[in-house]
Structure 1
Amino acid sequence: MGLIKFVAIPTEEARALQGGERDAYGNPPERLISDGDGVPCRHCLHNVQAGKPYLALAYRPFPHLQPYAETGPIFLCAEECARAEESDVMPEMFRASTEFLLRAYGYDDRILYGTGAVTPKQLVCTHSHELLQRPDVAYLHLRSGRYNCYQCRIERA
């Protein structure tokens, strides 16, 4: 058993959006066709295959509105997909990237200042474990190192 786990968005949220629920900005998700390059589904944690439909939408990975509750674009498979299993192994779809933004959040869902860092891919697991050793850290966000897009949560295993 590992020390950390990569956690995809909840199935209930994915199904609601796949079923037509409006996104965090109140808009219907945009339905597009994948070219097979750089369309990572935040539920199954796989890239959407070329020719398959996907959704582009605004997502807020926080339970309540508050000043630190960032909203940004994500992709989802347009059709129902199986949620990625929680694992200490970095999902394959992230392995093509060279760096990520890791940021820690407290139990009040607010950023813990001084924890955000652009982190080389090979150090993500180690740095995540280090951050999660802090008693004030509830969870981490793994975000794109280039665009700041939400990728998944990282929690204690």
Structure 2
Amino acid sequence: MDLTFEALDSALAADLRRGGPDANGQPAERGAISDGEGVPCRHCLSHVPAGREYLILAHRPFPAPQPYAETGPIFLCADDCGRWHGAGVPPILATSPDYLLKGYSADHRIVYGTGRVVPAADLAGYAAGLFEDPRVAFVDVRSARNNCFQCRIRCALSA
């Protein structure tokens, strides 16, 4: 099964960099400088390089507020960066021992019973298994420790 790991949309990233509102209606915080580790950009899905500025903002990866539309903090390269389009698991998912994965329906509701903390090495396998359930339209990857949104996974057939 081919999986696609989706990064933050480029138009949204550009708007946020220009001072557009985040999920809380405020501009992103500026001035933070990366040490090169632990600062995963949700657009390029790589860590913000050491010495480079990054933005801190609230993100809700859903089209509208509703009970299952979690909002939380994310990081974004302050400078333009290329959107992740690579094959396989993105670099930001190789730095933690595990992640929280949850399957969601097409109407953006959690499919109960799909949420699990999964070892990083098993991300693709667990996600592929979730897509065997026809109710699962996409899988969100979140930090197992802080619940921060990392990226979204889609089955190539439903992308």
| One-letter code aligned to 1:28 | P
Structure 2 distance, partners of 1:82, 1:149, is 21
Structure 2 distance, partners of 1:92, 1:65, is 29
Runs of 4+ in 1 over 4 A off after TM superposition: none
> Which residue in 2 is equivalent to 1:38?
38
C-alpha RMSD of the superposition: 1.0
CA offsets 1:87-124 (integer angstroms, 9 cap, x no match): 3x111221121100000000110111110000011111
> Which residue in 1 is equivalent to 2:98?
99
> Which residue in 2 is equivalent to 1:9?
8
| 1:70 maps to 2:70 | yes
| 1:111 maps to 2:110 | yes
TM-score normalized with structure 2 length: 0.94
> Which residue in 1 is equivalent to 2:18?
19
Q: Percent identity?
A: 50
CA offsets 1:52-97 (integer angstroms, 9 cap, x no match): 010000000001111111000000000111100053x111221121
| One-letter code aligned to 1:53 | E
Structure 2 distance, partners of 1:55, 1:105, is 28
Q: How far is the alpha carbon of 1:34 from its aligned partner?
A: 1.1
Does the 8 Å contact 1:7/1:86 carry over to 2?
no
Q: How far is the alpha carbon of 1:140 from its aligned partner?
A: 0.4
Structure 2 distance, partners of 1:4, 1:62, is 20
| 1:55 maps to 2:58 | no
| One-letter code aligned to 1:92 | P
Structure 1 distance, partners of 2:4, 2:22, is 26
SS of equivalent to 2:99 = strand
> Which residue in 2 is equivalent to 1:83?
83
Specify every segment of 5 or more residues in structure 1 that has no aligned partner in the other structure, as ranges: none
SS of equivalent to 1:13 = helix
Q: How far is the alpha carbon of 1:134 from its aligned partner?
A: 1.1
Q: How far is the alpha carbon of 1:51 from its aligned partner?
A: 1.0
| One-letter code aligned to 1:24 | A
> Which residue in 2 is equivalent to 1:149?
148
